[in-house]
Structure 1
Amino acid sequence: MAKRAATNNSSDSTLSVARRGEIVVGVYEAVQSCFAHWETLPGFDFEAVFKAYLVEAFEAPDRLGFDLATMRLIASLKNGHTAFADDWLWREHGAPIGLAVRHDAAGWCVTKSAYEDIAPGAQIVRIGGQPIDAFASKLLAFVSGSSIREQRNRLFSRPFLFPQSFEIVMEDGTTRWIERGTELPPGPAETDGRWLEDGQRYLLTIPSFAQPRFEADAIELLRSLTDTVHLVIDVRGNAGGNTPEALVSALMPTRYRFWTYETPCSDGLARARGEPPRMIVSEADWVEPAEEAFKGKLTILIDGGTFSAAEDFVAPFKDNKRAEIVGEPTGGSSGQPYLRDLEDGMRLWVGAKRQMFPDRSPFEGVGIEPDIFKNWPPTEEPGKVPV
């Protein structure tokens, strides 16, 4: 079959019945064959939920309604590596809010702001005349995540769920009218190293593993250190990318292991019998250390924004106790997603690998617990906090 040519027409706000049919069939097949996280959904009837989705998807008046229906379906699977995206949605309805906001025990806290009159640390209590919890609860149904914490922390990065303009009220009673379209200031773009104490403690900040250079630069900086140095690695806010196996090896003077995981597997005969995919388990393998690995004292800083491949980085150090882990529990979602290109700028990711700690204790939706808990103030950005 010839592949559909992608369209860049930003005014393409409608989808034909035939096109909707192609997409929903692709979504169904990908989820049924690849999704590895059914055990976290006891009593969940995907067939019934999918039938309700079909009605909503075909009755949606436009592409926006169709996208939101599909996002609601995928979010119902409660997995941080299972998501639907549409370039058109971001292009037409994705004007930024200008705020980064996290949710914790204290409430909804601004961590980054593009506005001079809203400082990091401000608490938002109302949006659009509603208590923020009531406002958010209506939108979280469209946000994928392996936990309610992850969904809440992702909410403000989904601007198309918000009105084009709205009023926010702070805890101190001040108000601010938000007109979407203001970009947040950029965060750290490169791996960075600096001395906290000359010759004694060194801070290595790794903002991402999305590009090979982040890991390569970290290894290069690491090579300049002797084993007498106390190395502090900051992966707070690192949302992952590619698992940095070479960096882990460069820091491990003792043997280590990553995850035990399981993934679904099926065949034609099993499907003919109506049998669900069976789960294949792969136990965590021990990896022998490299002789030239860094042997000095190691501390790793984490938070709820430490996610995916960044959690792959932290996990071996937690398992073999090579490093002291400081901060807040990590995001709690990793594993290889299956990517389904639905064409026309639409993509579906399905979490096809369910990871757990080597002792089989759960990781998904839980995260990696620190050895020393520290609730990072929102005014302290990654790379700014010596320990």
Structure 2
Amino acid sequence: MKRLVFFYLLLLSGMVYGQMPNKLTKEDKVYGLSKFWQEVNYNFVYLYKVDQLKWDELYKEYIGKVQESPNDYEYYRLMQRFCASLKDGHTNIYFPKYIQENVLNTHFGEYRFILSNVGGKAIITQINNSKKDELPIGSEIISVNGIATADYLRESIYPFISASTSYTLEDWGISKMLEGYVGTSYDLQLILPNGLEKQLTVTIAKSEEKEFFPGLQTRELLELKWYSNQTAYISLNSFSDWEIMEMFRKKNKELKQAKSLIIDLRNNGGGNTSIGKVILHYLTEDTIFYGSKSQTRQHIATFKAWGKDSYFYDLPFSPDTLGAGDKKLLRNKRIVVPTVLLIGHGTASAAEDFLIYADKQKHMTKIGEPTYGSTGQPLSFNLPEGGLARVCTKKDTYPDGREFVGVGIQPDILVSKSLTDFLENRDPALEKALEYLEKQKSEKLKVN
């Protein structure tokens, strides 16, 4: 029976691979690998953390591997694995469009579900409406293709993901655990919330059903709502568009009524650091702001001939000081009240830069989970047949040299979301923020 199953899987694998494009020549594949290796050697700011002898040996090993890759998809998967060995969230390999449009991770024909990391477990947190009774939210995948989930992640998923922190690797790994090319099948073993086990085989195929349970959230750039005792909640969901600055300014008059403030950065994956900095100007009385200290590598050929290779160059660093025009613009518009900054694993890049600027604000308290732990300035370049790569060229730290890349910016009060919170649709970090601000108000009243 085992031999029959193996033959069936081999046949299915051949059918899937048969659908995959194979445009790249061996020369293309070696060139793409060499291009990435070269750019890393010249520009990757964290190369000093890499064992360079092992890195070069890995490159030589992959020269053979990429030439033997059976199709373009498997080639780019090898490229992603090669890149992931650098362990940096701003250094990545991306599929060309003709591959990406056939690589899915939430579509399985009649099934469509989203997996999330909840306490280190692969939990279904959203499911298409028609299957919500068969696969209730809270169901856990405990094995994939007969391999325990933790082992499957470690062996088959984590090695392909570029991440700077272990918890981001785990988050991304679980969310992409069933990603694959159209036609790929998985045998799953699950435990349902009622404790019963379920076997299920799913095959990656575009799902036509759009409605999820619970429904998918659509987020505006900026969202504002009010809680009791004049506590304003404002979510800043991206710093990628200056429109959020205009939206914030339009809400300024209303926000001036707040006695306390919650700023939610948990879904802010970054963008333009300057946008967050300008918004922060409205949230403090300070006129001098200290952002991150930055370094990049500098390569001088003669120095390399002398045996110095490359060295770090400190990028210009000076505090941002408000000019007379900015002070006039901000007059009577600042909102300086007890403030909670909600942060989490999704708080990344320019949103982390915002937190660096806000680091010394005594009226601000960070609640939630550690941030993404990766920022910098990526250098982007093309790979064969429309692939894309990027390499991080800038190292950022706190002004005093403390590192947050690779460890994340830590909350002052740690609050994580449990499986029960998911099932009951609770937001424990927000609840803690409201409780904390209420306590602050009570203590202030006692003093007065």
Give your verdict on TM over 0.5. Answer: yes
Aligned-partner residue type, residue 146 of structure 2? G
Task: State the partner residue of 1:226.
Answer: 256
Aligned to 2:190: 169
DSSP 3-state at the match of 1:306: coil
Contact preservation (8 Å) 2:20, 2:71: no
Q: Which aligned pairs between 1:256-335 and structure 2 lie closer than 5 A? A: 256-272=289-305, 275-282=308-315, 284-288=317-321, 291=327, 292=330, 293-335=334-376
TM-superposed CA distance for 1:350, in Å, is 0.5
Report what 1:130 is aligned to.
147
> Percent of counterpart pairs with the same letter?
20
CA distance in 2: counterparts of 1:371 and 1:53, whole angstroms: 44
TM-score of the superposition, structure 2-length normalised? 0.75
In the aligned structure 2, how far is the partner of 1:17 from the partner of 1:369? Answer: 46
Q: Secondary structure at the match of 2:37?
A: helix
User: When you count helix as a share of all residues, which structure comes out higher?
Assistant: 2
CA distance in 2, matches of 1:42, 1:322: 43
Residue equivalent to 2:63: 54
State the one-letter code of the partner of 2:144.
Answer: I
Quick one: structure 1 residues 19 and 84, their matched pair in 2 at CA, closer, same or farther if it must change by over 3 Å? same
Q: Report the secondary structure of 2:102's partner residue.
A: helix
Partner of 2:89: 80
Contact 1:109 1:122 in 2 (8 A): yes
Unmatched 5+ stretches in structure 2: 1-18, 435-448
Cα distance, 1:67 vs structure 2 = 0.6
2:165/2:408 contact within 8 Å kept: no
CA contact (8 A) 2:345 2:371 kept: yes
Q: Deviations over 1:299-319 (max 9, x none)?
A: 110111211222122222224
Which whole-Å CA distance do the structure 1 matches of 2:414 and 2:429 have between them?
A: 17
Distance change >3 Å, CA 216–CA 300, structure 1 → 2: same
2:398, 2:356 → 1: CA distance? 8
- Give the Cα separation in 1 of the matches to 2:255 and 2:67: 60
- Tell me, yes or no, if the aligned pair for 1:127 and 1:169 is still in contact at 8 Å: no
Higher mean displacement: 327-336 or 242-251: 242-251
Q: Which has the higher contact order (CA 8 A, sep 6+)?
A: 1
Note closer, same or farther for the CA distance 1:287–1:111 as it changes in structure 2 (3 Å cut): farther
2:416 matches 1:375: yes
TM-score, structure 1 length as denominator?
Answer: 0.86
SS in 1 for 2:367: strand
**Does the C-alpha gap of structure 1 residues 17 and 43 become closer, same or farther in structure 2, counting only changes over 3 Å?**
closer
How far 1:371 moved relative to its partner?
Answer: 0.9
Distance 2:366 2:53 in 1: 35
Q: 2:173 corresponds to which letter in structure 1?
A: L
In structure 2, the CA distance between the partners of 1:382 and 1:314, relative to structure 1 (3 Å rule), is farther
- Kindly report which structure 2 residues correspond to 1:52-131, keeping only aligned pairs within 5 A, or say none: 52-86=61-95, 87-94=97-104, 96-97=106-107, 98-103=112-117, 105-114=119-128, 116-117=132-133, 118-131=135-148
Alpha-carbon deviation of 1:99?
4.0
| 1:64-110 C-alpha deviation (Å, 9 max, x unpaired) | 12111100110000000000001233212235354444436453344
Query: 1: distance between equivalents of 2:151 and 2:363?
Result: 43
Letter in 2 for 1:249: H
Change (3 A) 1:38 1:382: farther
Amino acid at match of 2:145: G
Query: C-alpha separation between the residues in 1 aligned to 2:20 and 2:235?
Result: 42
Match of 2:270 among 230, 237, 240: 240
Q: 1:337-366, CA deviations, whole angstroms, 9 ceiling, x for partnerless residues?
A: 111122532100101111112221221110
Aligned to 2:50: 41
Work out the CA distance in 2 between the residues paired with 1:12 and 1:298. Answer: 53
Query: Gaps spanning 5+ residues in structure 1: where?
Result: 1-9
Distance 1:89 1:279 in 2: 38
Question: Helix, strand or coil for the counterpart of 1:329?
Answer: coil
Query: Could you say what secondary structure the match of 2:163 adopts?
Result: coil
Residues 308 and 51 of structure 1: CA distance in aligned 2, closer, same or farther (over 3 Å): same
Provide the secondary structure at the position in 2 that maps to 1:140.
helix
Shift of 1:37: 1.1
Structure 2 partner of 1:207: 237
Greater mean deviation of Cα atoms: 243-252 or 327-336: 243-252
Task: Tell me which residue corresponds to 1:143.
Answer: 161
Conservation of the 8 A alpha-carbon contact between 2:88 and 2:162: yes
Residue of structure 2 equivalent to 1:192: 223
CA contact (8 A) 1:99 1:156 kept: no
Which of 354-363 and 311-320 deviates more?
A: 311-320
Q: CA RMSD in A?
A: 2.9
Per the TM alignment, residue 194 of structure 1 is displaced from its structure 2 partner at its CA by 0.6
Match for residue 250 of structure 1 among 282, 287, 302: 282
Aligned mates of 1:308, 1:121 — CA distance in 2: 30
Deviates more, 1:121-130 or 1:322-331: 121-130
| Secondary structure of the corresponding residue to residue 77 of structure 1 | coil
Secondary structure of 1:385 counterpart:
helix
Match in the other structure for 2:390: 349
User: Number of aligned pairs?
Assistant: 377
Q: CA deviation at 1:283?
A: 6.9
Q: Which has the larger radius of gyration?
A: 2
The one-letter amino acid paired with 2:240 is A
